[in-house]
Chains A and B, each alone.
Chain A
Amino acid sequence: MGSKRDLEERARRALQLLLVQRHRKPGVKGWELRRSIGKNYLNILEYLNEKLDSYGLCIRMVYEGEETTPDQARFLVTVKDSIRMSEAISAGWRIDELAILAASIAYIASRQGSISSRELLRLLEVKFPSWFIEATLRRLIRYGYLERDGDIVKIGWRSKAEIDGGKLLELIVKMDVVSES
Chain B
Amino acid sequence: MKFTFNWLKEHLDTTASLDEIVEKLSLIGLEVEGVEDKGRELSVFKTCRVREAVQHPNADRLRVCQVESAEGEFQVVCGAPNARTGMVGVFAPVGSYVPGIDLTLKAGELRGEASNGMLVSEREMGLSDEHDGIIDLPADTPVGVPIAEALGFDDPVIEIAITPNRGDCLGVRGVARDLAAAGLGTLKPLKAERAAGAGASAVKWAIGDNAAEDVHYVAGRTFRGVKNGPSPKWLQNRLLAIGLRPISALVDITNYISFDLGRPLHVFDADRLRSDTLTWRKARNDEAFLALDDNSYKLSDTMAVACDGQGAVGIGGIMGGAESGCQDDTTNVFLEVALFDHISVAMTGRKTGIHSDARYRFERIVDPESARWGLDVATQMILDLCGGEASEVVEAGAVPDSSRSIELRPSRIADLCGVELSRERQADILRTLEFTVEDKADLLVAGVPSWRSDVELEACLVEEILRIHGFENIPELPLPRPSYLPHGVLTLAQRRASNVRTALCWQGLDEAVTFSFISAAQASLFGDVPETLKVANPISADLDTMRPSVLPTLLAAAARNTDRGYPDNAIFEVGPQYKGDTPKDQSEVAAGLRSGHLAAAHWDQKARAVDVFDAKGDALAALTAVGAPVENLQVFASAPNYYHPGRSGVLGLGPKNALACFGELHPKVLKGMGIKGPVVAFEVFLDNIPAPKVKKGEASSSKIRPALELAAFQPLKRDFAFVVDADAPAEKLLRAVRGADKALITDVALFDVYQGKGVEEGKKSLALTVTLQPRDHTLTDEEIEAVSQRIIQQAMKSGAVLRG
The answer to whether A and B belong to the same complex is no
By a beta-carbon cutoff of 8 Å, the part of chain A in contact with chain B is: none
By a beta-carbon cutoff of 8 Å, the part of chain B in contact with chain A is: none
